[in-house]
Amino acid sequence: MPFDTAIRSALQKDSPAFGFWLCLNSASAAKTFLRSGAQSPTGGFSWVLVDAEHGLITDRDYYELNNAIASEGASPIIRVPWGEEWMIKRALDAGAHGVMTPMCHSEEDAARIVKYSKYPPRGTRGYGPMFAPHAMPGVAAGEQHDAHADDSLIVAVQIESRPGVENVEKIAAVDGLDVLLIGPFDLAKQLGVTRGGDEHEAAIQRILKAAKSAGKTAAIFCTDGNDARNRIAQGFNMVSIITDVGVLAEGMSRQLAFAAGTAQGGEKRDGY
């Protein structure tokens, strides 16, 4: 029986699984965001995407970030720089509750990512999870972790290229793949279309339909809460609502505008 993680529990519910992008190597920032979210009526975040592809994060940061995120009741999912076996192994051995790989172009790509993420005989993941259970509350090292890791950890790929869209129905059918996440910025650039335009949106809807039809989770990167709300209404059940960098930049510029008198509103704060 799979062991419980925040993201797996969230995906079994009717409500959407909210997450955010962590681009900065800051356990304290991750914990601050998660605790703030936990006070929300929504119930907070169930996952955090630890961005080792474009963010300022490397594999030497994985262990601390995974443990910080998991300690707040959310699942760390690491986006590795590329779908290479050693990168996936490093992320999972450091305690990630799942991995995400960029630029999945074909069913062969997806099957390879699944293989790298599973222990033999289902895959080729090398054995050495000395530290992985530290980020999995209630999961004992040894038999409990080893016997159930394959069925408990999330395997996600990003669909963000023309071949990915053209092959998305075959990709979605790959056994062992859990999540198809859309990277809308790369998708627009790779298709050579305007982000938010009709061709871009048609590709997004095709990916959504393929994931749903195959019984897989349809996920998408969103620019803000309004974008996320619209995507949820379309049927996406796993959404990243914003990046840490976006929150910091927006919050600081908004408060500066209030102080300078160039903007009105904002609730009074009492504290740091």
* Residues involved in catalysis: 54
What does the H/E/C string look like for the chain?
Answer: CCCCCHHHHHHCCCCCEEEEEECCCCHHHHHHHHHHHHCCCCCCCCEEEEECCCCCCCHHHHHHHHHHHHHCCCEEEEECCCCCHHHHHHHHHCCCCEEEECCCCCHHHHHHHHHHHCCCCCCCCCCCCCCHHHHCCCCCCCHHHHHHHHHHCEEEEEECCHHHHHCHHHHHCCCCCCEEEECHHHHHHHHCCCCCCHHHHHHHHHHHHHHHHCCCEEEEECCCHHHHHHHHHHCCCEEEEEEHHHHHHHHHHHHHHHHHCCCCCCCCCCCC
With beta carbons less than 8 A apart as the criterion, state whether 11 and 237 touch. Answer: yes
Q: Which residue has the tokens 């092959």?
A: 167
Of 151, 143, 158, which Cα lies nearest the Cα of 110? 158
With beta carbons less than 8 A apart as the criterion, state whether 141 and 169 touch. Answer: no
